[in-house]
């Protein structure tokens, strides 16, 4: 087959390699003019299944006609008129919208959704299709999330966002001409989501060295190699430089594919994402217009994580008194009391379970402490190579046009400080927060960060 002249081949080849590790997504068309191949991709994947185009008013205005023309040209039958959800107020990723898409699809036997979507509507269509056991294809409209190619969808139920499990799209069309002209806010969101790959990588190194969760080298390089290139060019991303938007889009797609391959968000998500998950579970910013994006929360989590890492890297781990740490480990009742004090009653039960599951005591804690002590010099060396400092992370986000201070996303410093305690309690994933907790040093580290001469003490406002 002769290569299509409008495809740029550098990203395509990396994506092709990554697709070999994916078991759900079969095709990703990334390149300039890729939207014109939507119909052909759809027909190749789903034979003669009819398409239901799903969009919102904004995405339909940007790409609806081009998608319909391409489907027509490839001879794909339309199951019905396009389902176009209202764009204003901004489309909201809640379960009501999943029901709307699912019911429309269910009424059209054999129809396959062809969504024209950024993060929110892609997740809605992903879950609606998944619930019906049908595949779908998405035409990406902004480089705003790494969730396009991931399994699972972040959907709010009763005002709390949670991740529901469902398969990734079988096909993705990522037209660089469309992605390049996405609103700046969405590109900045994608940059924020990607920023956490740096501290998340350090968290994975930590889990790897402690034998908690080994690094998968393929998933690691899918995420890390491409993310770093983009993150060090924030000005180019902010200016919508074509190469930078291409690299950002590619990095986000690769990150999703890494999660698809490992069936885990570990390759792309560490403590920084736990801050964002916490605020999402608290419903923070859902009432804003537009709602506060995932990537904006993650960006702040990235700075928080880099700051925690900075304190940890300066610890004298050899001097820690294991007997004293073991004697201070909270008993189950005390741990439960602390968790219930720290998190919202709405998700306190699951936070108690997650916290208890990773709380070590007695011999197990003693062994963990010994393992940390032995591995610490290697952890420090590997993490130093991986990380940037919190001030640098702040600067990268600012330069990309992504919020670079908690106050800018409506989290005041008191709440932000409390989030440092609560973020650890909602997930079992082992991160910088956990190694500090195991060492009996988490409360001290947080105090230090918020002391007048600590990182956050020195940055009380943007």
Binding site for Zn ion (CB under 5 A): 193
Q: How far is the CB of 34 from Zn ion (least distance, A)?
A: 23
How far is the C-alpha of 362 from the C-alpha of 227, rounded, in Å?
A: 40
Q: How far is the CB of 298 from Zn ion (least distance, A)?
A: 5
Distance of alpha carbon 445 from the chain centroid: 26
Judged by DSSP in three states, 6 sits in: coil
Nearer to Zn ion, 12 or 298 (CB): 298
How far is the C-alpha of 348 from the C-alpha of 352, rounded, in Å?
A: 6
Nearer to Zn ion, 275 or 430 (CB): 275
Residue whose token pair is 């074509």: 242
Q: Which residues contact 267 (CB under 8 A, 6 or more apart)?
A: 200, 204, 216, 219, 220, 222, 223, 255, 258, 259
Nearer to Zn ion, 123 or 438 (CB): 123
Q: How far is the CB of 143 from Zn ion (least distance, A)?
A: 13
Other CB atoms within 10 A of residue 395 CB = 15
Q: Which residues contact 323 (CB under 8 A, 6 or more apart)?
A: none
Nearest in space to 123 (alpha carbons), one of 90, 154, 161, 156: 154
Judged by DSSP in three states, 402 sits in: coil
Q: How far is the CB of 402 from Zn ion (least distance, A)?
A: 13
Q: How far is the CB of 279 from Zn ion (least distance, A)?
A: 13
Q: How far is the CB of 2 from Zn ion (least distance, A)?
A: 37
Q: What are phi and psi of 353, to 5 degrees?
A: -65, -45
Nearer to Zn ion, 193 or 280 (CB): 193
Nearest in space to 438 (alpha carbons), one of 375, 349, 346: 375
Burial of 214 (0-12, 13-18, 19+ CB in 10 A): exposed
- Residue nearest Zn ion by beta-carbon distance: 193
Q: How far is the CB of 251 from Zn ion (least distance, A)?
A: 12
Nearer to Zn ion, 31 or 152 (CB): 152
Other CB atoms within 10 A of residue 223 CB = 28
How far is the C-alpha of 204 from the C-alpha of 305, rounded, in Å?
A: 13
How far is the C-alpha of 149 from the C-alpha of 258, rounded, in Å?
A: 9
User: Under a CB-based contact definition with an 8 Å cutoff, are residues 242 and 176 in contact?
Assistant: yes
Nearer to Zn ion, 161 or 233 (CB): 161
Q: Which residues contact 4 (CB under 8 A, 6 or more apart)?
A: 31, 37
Q: How far is the CB of 233 from Zn ion (least distance, A)?
A: 20
Q: What are phi and psi of 153, to 5 degrees?
A: -135, 135
Nearer to Zn ion, 123 or 193 (CB): 193
Nearer to Zn ion, 94 or 193 (CB): 193
Q: How far is the CB of 407 from Zn ion (least distance, A)?
A: 22
Torsion of CA 270, 272, 276, 279, to 10 degrees: 110
Nearer to Zn ion, 301 or 390 (CB): 301
User: Under a CB-based contact definition with an 8 Å cutoff, are residues 98 and 155 in contact?
Assistant: yes
Nearest in space to 307 (alpha carbons), one of 388, 371, 390: 390
Nearer to Zn ion, 56 or 193 (CB): 193
Other CB atoms within 10 A of residue 40 CB = 18
Q: How far is the CB of 276 from Zn ion (least distance, A)?
A: 7
Q: How far is the CB of 306 from Zn ion (least distance, A)?
A: 16
Nearer to Zn ion, 83 or 411 (CB): 411
């Amino acid at each position: 087959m002769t290569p299509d002249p409008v495809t740029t081949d550098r990203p395509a080849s990396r994506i092709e390699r990554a697709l070999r590790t994916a078991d759900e997504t079969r095709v990703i068309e990334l390149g300039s003019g890729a939207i014109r191949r939507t119909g052909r991709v759809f027909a190749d994947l789903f034979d003669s299944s009819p398409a239901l185009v799903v969009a919102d008013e904004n995405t339909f205005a940007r790409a609806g006609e081009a998608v319909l023309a391409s489907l027509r040209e490839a001879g794909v039958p339309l199951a019905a008129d396009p389902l176009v959800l209202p764009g204003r107020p901004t489309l909201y990723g809640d379960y009501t919208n999943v029901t709307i898409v699912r019911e429309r699809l269910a009424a059209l036997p054999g129809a396959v959704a062809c969504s024209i979507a950024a993060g929110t509507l892609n997740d809605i269509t992903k879950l609606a299709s998944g619930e019906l056991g049908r595949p779908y294809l998405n035409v990406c409209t902004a480089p705003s999330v790494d969730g396009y190619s991931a399994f699972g969808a972040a959907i709010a139920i009763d005002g709390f966002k949670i991740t529901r499990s469902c398969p990734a799209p079988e096909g993705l069309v990522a037209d660089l001409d469309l992605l390049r002209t996405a609103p700046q806010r969405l590109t900045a969101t994608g940059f924020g989501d990607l920023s956490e790959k740096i501290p998340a990588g350090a968290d994975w190194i930590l889990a790897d060295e402690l034998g908690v969760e080994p690094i998968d080298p393929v998933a690691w390089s899918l995420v890390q190699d491409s993310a770093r290139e983009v993150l060090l060019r924030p000005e180019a991303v902010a200016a919508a430089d074509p190469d930078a938007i291409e690299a950002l889009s590619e990095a986000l797609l690769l990150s999703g594919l890494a999660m698809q391959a490992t069936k885990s968000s570990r390759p792309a998500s560490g403590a920084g994402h736990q801050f964002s998950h916490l605020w999402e579970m608290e419903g923070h910013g859902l009432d804003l217009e537009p709602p506060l994006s995932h990537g904006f929360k993650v960006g702040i989590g990235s700075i928080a994580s880099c700051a925690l890492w900075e304190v940890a890297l300066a610890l004298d781990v050899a001097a820690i008194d294991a007997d004293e740490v073991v004697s201070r480990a909270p008993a189950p009742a005390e741990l439960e009391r602390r968790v219930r004090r720290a998190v919202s009653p709405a998700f306190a039960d699951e936070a108690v379970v997650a916290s208890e599951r990773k709380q070590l005591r007695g011999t197990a804690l003693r062994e963990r402490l010994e393992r940390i002590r032995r591995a610490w010099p290697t952890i420090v060396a590997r993490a130093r190579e991986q990380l940037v400092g919190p001030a640098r992370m702040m600067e990268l986000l600012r330069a990309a046009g992504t919020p670079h201070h908690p106050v800018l996303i409506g989290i005041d410093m008191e709440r932000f400080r409390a989030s440092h305690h609560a973020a650890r309690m909602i997930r079992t994933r082992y991160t910088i927060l956990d190694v500090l907790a195991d060492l009996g040093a988490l409360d001290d580290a947080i105090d230090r960060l918020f002391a007048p001469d600590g990182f956050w003490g020195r940055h009380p406002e943007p």
